[in-house]
Amino acid sequence: MKKLTVFLIIILLSFACSDNDNTPDPIPAGWERITSPTGYKSLTDIEFLNKDFGVISGIEGTVLKTENGGLEWQAVNYGNNYVSYKVFVLNENEFYLGRTGLYKTNNGGLSYTEIGNLSSFGATIFGINFFDTKNGLICKGGRVFKTNDGGLNWEEVYNGGFCDKMQFSSNNVGYISGGASWDGMSYGILHKTIDGGNTWTDIGDIKEVYEWEIMSMDFITNDIGYITNFNKEFFITQDGGVSWYLLSNSLPRIFKGIVFLSQYEGYGLSSSSIFKTIDGGISWKEDYTNSSFTFSAITKTPDEKIFVVGNGGVILRKE
């Protein structure tokens, strides 16, 4: 009888292990999977105006918006079957979508109009920033263009290397970064403006910055900012980019996005994992991973929620 009991226990344990192997890993504590109203259509970018209102862009003309802090999302009309790579929210009625062209809505997403005929040359728009309805900038084809008439006309204000990230920490102070990597070679660029984007100064002419492509960037004030590069290194500046300090030379992955809630707490996004630091970037611990996803963008809300979007319509939210 004792041998039979042991045999039955082994059989039951084997079934239990088999069931566990076929069950998706549970979402870690603090993270929540939000349902996308467009099902499995992949999502490319996300931005919040305030703690309640946010917009997501995606493939096949996908545009989603939320009015309750990302707990629920509704699809709004785009009118084009394009992939939108970048979104910028000016207010709840006016927001912008970028691909090769720049599209704007004035009615909360019910309809869109292409502005500026930017799609006439085929480079992708990777950065959008508007200060008000008239004045704004885009990063397209490694160059920066500025408008002061709502996007009808654009003036080139930067053409110094391939930039694909743009962030303004205030109306006057902003940063662009990027670079390129190919065939074992890599270089980085980093420029700064202190006049609202009219002129740009190279602050990447130090070895730590220009040696490798800058893969992600986040400035939490005009002076305090973070960058990661293609060599899995993590740097901090506390003087607006005049000097940089290496805090880690062995990031767990190449980060495609970073966001910091404070000088100590931050999140790094790789293709299928999210990492967290609580010591300002010195060390990183995996906070969420799922190999079936390919993440595309990470952002934070003013009330310190973290959102991640990606392929298959995935929307993740963390309190």
pLDDT at residue 117 greater than cutoff 50: yes
User: What pLDDT, on the 0 to 100 scale, is given for residue 107?
Assistant: 95
Note whether 196 and 228 are within 8 A (CB). Answer: no
User: For a pLDDT cut of 70, what percent of the chain falls above it?
Assistant: 91
State how far the Cα of 140 lies from the Cα of 123, in Å rounded to an integer: 6
State how far the Cα of 232 lies from the Cα of 223, in Å rounded to an integer: 23
pLDDT in tens, 288-305: 999 999 999 999 999 999
- Higher per-residue pLDDT: 202 or 81: 202
Confidence of residue 26 (pLDDT cuts 50, 70, 90): low
User: For a pLDDT cut of 90, what percent of the chain falls above it?
Assistant: 78
Task: For residue 129, give the amino acid letter.
Answer: N
Note whether 173 and 240 are within 8 A (CB). Answer: yes
User: What pLDDT, on the 0 to 100 scale, is given for residue 274?
Assistant: 98
Secondary structure of the chain in the HEC alphabet? CHHHHHHHHHHHHHHHHHHHHCCCCCCCCCEEEECCCCCCCCEEEEEECCCCCEEEEECCCCEEEECCCCCCCEECCCCCCCCCCEEEECCCCCEEEECCCEEEECCCCCCCEEECCHHHCCCCEEEEEECCCCCEEEEECCEEEEECCCCCCCEEEECCCCEEEEEECCCCCEEEEEEEEECCEEEEEEEEECCCCCCCEECCCCHHHHCCCEEEEEECCCCCEEEEECCCCEEEECCCCCCCEEEECCCCCCCCEEEECCCCCEEEECCCEEEEECCCCCCCEEEEECCCCCEEEEEECCCCCEEEEEHHHCEEEEC
**Which residues are CB-contacts of 264 (< 8 A; sequence separation ≥ 6)?**
277, 278, 279, 280
pLDDT at residue 5 greater than cutoff 70: no
pLDDT in tens, 71-80: 999 999 766 7
**135 CB neighbour count, 10 Å cutoff:** 17
Distance between alpha carbon 36 and the CA centroid of its chain, in Å?
A: 18
> Strand order of the sheet with strand 185-193?
163-168, 174-182, 185-193, 201-202
Mean pLDDT taken over the chain: 90
Domains and CATH numbers, the chain: 32-318 (2.130.10.10)
Task: For residue 245, give the amino acid letter.
Answer: Y
Residue with tokens 């042991």: 6
**Which residues are CB-contacts of 156 (< 8 A; sequence separation ≥ 6)?**
143, 144, 145
